[in-house]
Amino acid sequence: MKFIVSSSTLLKQLAAIDGIIVANPVVPILENFLFEIEDGKLNITASDLQTSIIGELAVEAQESASIAVPARILQETLKNLPEQPITFSVDEDTYTVEISSNNGRYKLAGENATDFPQIATVTDGLMIEMPAEILKNAIRHTIVAVSKDELKLAMNGVLIDLNGTGATFVATDTHRLVRYIRTDISIDAKRSLIVPRKALTLLNALLPSDKTGTKITFDETNIYFQLGNTQVISRLIDERYPAYENAIPVNNPHKLTINRLEFLSSLRRVAVYANKSSQQMRMKIAGSELQISAEDLEFSNEANERLTCEYEGSDIELGFNAKFLIEMLNSIDTEEIEVYLSTPNKAGVILPKEKKENEDILLLVMPVLLNS
């Protein structure tokens, strides 16, 4: 069996999906791309058992076939070839793949496609459609707060709560929380599902920042994203998400209003001097002045800056994890933010001052105990 394809087009498609391939997978064949040719289309699949990505390319082929091709060696070969048509010749008896180009010939040892794990499908699922930019924004805002602690399985993904009149996306690692609400997403059902972090990270890299329609289909076990000629299929996390609403304070009387970029730039500069293990940052607010400081006693490093702000409330001093605060502020794009505070041991709530249509964002950061 033979097929012809553009070297650069194939490499671009492989690069888009290879992020899912891990070194030393549980099933060795997952170090391969699955190539399936039918009706002049090449479907390329990469999987880690929990998440799969399928890309489609048009090729010149006269017959149908399938083969598992080593991912690393194939990509390294294509990266070093100039743009040109290349011919793949597959021996379906020995699973040998030969690539012919203007530069030479390359022979790879493929594997039997039937050994590649079966890709999950969504059956009798619900379907919603939304512009790619909305889904990309939801992922961008929430992914930063997803837990990496494998013992907190439910928090290893983003909760998507569909209530019939909108969609709420939530992520938390107990130190911070993001709640992102869209009121322009509707589905005639009420459902909650938890999508794993890895699937959303891969999806975010594939999604364009425009209004291209994205179809999402899901059942009790799997979720399926269709974007153009690429499909992302992932198993859902079968856990109960914690009652995150209880963590959001209802009465934070102190209100700080400040330019987000100025605040973020100051935090980044001062954070360089914070203790590398605790990342502790000290904030003191009095009148219209915000003082930000950090120190690392072990190396006698310290830094402090002053910023002008608008503040309503009594003087307050509290601590935050610099890394967490920087990541949270970097995930939004509003010009000014409002920070609502209470006491040094209660969570701070960050809201964008400028509200966008059909969008509501809330960021919560837990304080840290200040050293005396």
Question: For position 263, what pLDDT does the model report?
Answer: 97
Within 10 angstroms of residue 58's Cβ, the number of other Cβ atoms is 13
DSSP 331: T
Burial grade of 298 (CB within 10 A; 0-12, 13-18, 19 or more): exposed
Segment (H or E) for 9 = helix 7-17
Q: For tokens 């200040």, what's the residue? A: 370
Do residues 70 and 175 share a domain?
no
Identify the CA nearest to 209 among candidates 132, 129, 140. Answer: 132
β-bridge pairing 167-172 and 157-162: antiparallel
Distance CA 51, CA 204 (A): 14
Distance CA 96, CA 94 (A): 5
Question: For position 186, what pLDDT does the model report?
Answer: 80
Question: For position 187, what pLDDT does the model report?
Answer: 83
- The residue segments making up the domain with residue 79 are 2-115
DSSP 276: T
Q: Is residue 370 part of a domain?
A: no
Low-confidence stretches of the chain (pLDDT < 70) are 372
Beta carbons of 358 and 182 less than 8 angstroms apart: yes
Distance CA 63, CA 50 (A): 31
Q: Number of folded domains in the chain?
A: 3
Q: Last residue of a domain, which of 245, 271, 292?
A: 245
Distance CA 156, CA 344 (A): 28
CATH assignment at residue 359: 3.10.150.10
Beta carbons of 52 and 19 less than 8 angstroms apart: no
CA distances from 285 to 120, 198, 243, 256, 264 (A): 53, 39, 32, 9, 16
Q: Is residue 169 part of a domain?
A: yes
Do residues 8 and 87 share a domain?
yes
Do residues 178 and 255 share a domain?
no
Q: Is residue 372 part of a domain?
A: no
Question: What contacts 69, CB < 8 A, 6 or more positions away?
Answer: 32, 33, 34, 35, 97, 108, 110
Locate 306 and state its tokens.
């002053």
Q: Is residue 41 part of a domain?
A: yes
Q: Last residue of a domain, which of 93, 115, 137?
A: 115
Do residues 255 and 343 share a domain?
yes
Q: Is residue 121 part of a domain?
A: no
Q: Is residue 149 part of a domain?
A: yes
Do residues 92 and 131 share a domain?
no
* Residue 18 amino acid letter: D
Q: What angle do CA 20, 21, 23 make, to 5 degrees?
A: 135
Q: Last residue of a domain, which of 226, 245, 264?
A: 245
Q: Is residue 47 part of a domain?
A: yes
Q: What angle do CA 172, 371, 300 make, to 5 degrees?
A: 110
Distance CA 185, CA 166 (A): 5
Q: Is residue 171 part of a domain?
A: yes
Question: For position 372, what pLDDT does the model report?
Answer: 59
Distance CA 16, CA 270 (A): 37
pLDDT tens digits, residue range 165-221?
Answer: 889 999 999 999 999 999 998 888 889 999 999 999 999 999 988 888 899 999 999
Do residues 268 and 236 share a domain?
no
Distance CA 230, CA 14 (A): 11
SS3 354: coil
Do residues 271 and 183 share a domain?
no
